[in-house]
Amino acid sequence: MPAFQYVIFLSLLVLLPVMLLIFFYARNRKKKVIKMIGDESLVKQLMGQYNSASFLKKFIFLFLAMGILVLALANLRTPSGGDKINRNGVDVMIALDVSKSMLAQDIKPNRLERAKQVLSRLIDRMSNDRIGIVVFAGKAYLQMPLSGDHAAAKMYLNAATPESIPTQGTVIGDALKMCYASFNSKEKKYKAVILISDGEDHDESALTTAEQMASEGVLINAIGIGSPQGAPIMDEATGDLKKDNEGNTVISRLNEEELKDIAAKGNGAYQLFVNTEDVVNNIAAELNTMDQRNIQDDSLMNYQSYFQYFLGAAFLLLLIELFLSETKKQQVVKKIKPAVAVLLMLLLPSAALFAQSEKEIIKQGNDAYAKKNYDGAQAAYGTVVKKNPANATAQYNLGNATYKGQKVDEAVVAYDNAIAQLKTPLEKSKAFYNKGVVLQNNNKIPECIDAYKNALKLNQNDEDARHNLQKALQQQKEKNQQDQKNKNKNKDQDQQKNKDQQDDPKPQPSRLTKKDAEEKLKALMQQEKNLQDKLHKVNAQSVNKPEKDW
């Protein structure tokens, strides 16, 4: 059944009544202005070409286009494949600790890998539940929103590593807040969080957050993974055991007390990891005790969208509205049609004859050019250009002929005129190339560089233009180097000249008396002493606290 994906955009339909009000206001305003101008019959004569019906038509097209654009934004769609799943279950957010302390190997192969194994088995047992994933270390990130796609959930779990979180540490409170934000805030039940961590929390807000979530109907179960004795952490970046700021080897220990407190505040249960099956069975049993509701999951559905058809219709209506005129043109058109027809009949033969003569004259110019009679070719092409400046062929050939006749400026002008008239990119590219050759041979390097660049923009395969461009760039570089060299030489000469003209500098007598100098020195020494005293106080009050990044 067709349905709109973004129903909220349909609220924009309230703009349509606003448009109606604006239309009626504008129409009434026009009538009032007409009455204020003067005699009604005289105004009608003056407005004889005004078509009031067109004003209404333009508004109707604009009104319909606006409504259709709103429907396009809402995106009407129909199911085209996949399944819409109805099942009884709960929404479960998994909060996985991926801090570096989870790399400790007191549980083999390490805490993180074993946690992934537990969660993967648990997902298999939650076939009717929607699952989301939050990973956290020094910050918490939503890895996957709530979805019935359990295969995707396993994929995201496998990809979770300490490297996926740029900030290290352990902030369980932030992870719980992220989980809570992922739930439907309107529901007071059917929501659970599974927290799996070693509990080495560096955040004091976790217990408060857990209590607040429990008051909103969220059940929090915690899984502790690790050992109370702890183990060192292998730093994968260096291959050595991790050390704190004082150089001591870091020992990461399971903090069961905090995880138990979080589970208690969250009305859930705490499980110590001993073996995978026991933990999975216990957590699954806890989830089964929760009230369950019917969940409609359409995350695996495919849809056919129709917004593009609405956009096409709206564009067509706007195009029609654009070309509607508010003036009456029909009568004028009827009068001028016969005159235009007669004029065309008179002009067509002469135009055909002139076109024929243009081709003949250009052919004569080509023959002269082939015989290296460049003055004769220039005269022939010039005759055509004088009669028809829009003849691109004549302009192009005129550029070639005037260049051969050593008339550089005229050749450049002819090429520019040809470029303006030529239609295809390839033809324009050739004209730009010829213009570049003329300019380069006459040492106008910046201008020829621009011409070659334009030629390559229109035809990237023009190797001649590319070769000449490289050559011109090299010439420009050499010229700049020579100019800089001459500039430096002139500068050195000027400096030497100024130096020769200057007299030896004379020392200026000090304006400070001996007494003033001693007083200033005393003041500076006192400032230095005050600064040192202040630094000593700061150093005495500060306490070095090693930052935890595991």
DSSP string, 147-171: ES-HHHHHHHHHH--GGG-SS-S--
Domains of the chain by range and CATH? 3-82+307-323 (no CATH), 85-297 (3.40.50.410), 336-475 (1.25.40.10)
Return the C-alpha torsion angle 518, 519, 525, 527, nearest 10.
-160
Rounded Cα–Cα distance for residues 477 and 449 (Å):
12
Average pLDDT over residues 337-363: 54
pLDDT band at 332 (very low <50, low <70, confident <90, very high): very low
Query: What pLDDT is stored for residue 68 in this prediction?
Result: 94
pTM over 0.85, yes/no: no
The model's pLDDT over 472-523, given as tens digits with 9 standing for 90+, comes to 888 888 888 888 888 877 777 766 666 655 544 444 454 556 666 667 667 7
Rounded Cα–Cα distance for residues 254 and 527 (Å):
53
Rounded Cα–Cα distance for residues 530 and 88 (Å):
74
Length of the chain: 550
Nearest to 136 by CA among 167, 175, 87: 175
Query: What pLDDT is stored for residue 179 in this prediction?
Result: 93
The model's pLDDT over 30-77, given as tens digits with 9 standing for 90+, comes to 777 767 765 666 666 666 566 667 778 888 999 999 999 999 999 888
Average pLDDT over residues 133-147: 90
Q: Is the dihedral of CA 401, 407, 411, 414 positive or negative?
A: negative
The model's pLDDT over 447-460, given as tens digits with 9 standing for 90+, comes to 889 888 988 888 88
| Residues 326/51, Cβ–Cβ less than 8 Å | yes
| Residues 255/203, Cβ–Cβ less than 8 Å | no
Query: What pLDDT is stored for residue 175 in this prediction?
Result: 92
Q: What percent of the chain has pLDDT over 70?
A: 77
Identify which of 85-89, 154-158, 221-225 has the greatest average pLDDT. 221-225
pLDDT for residue 296 is more than 70:
no
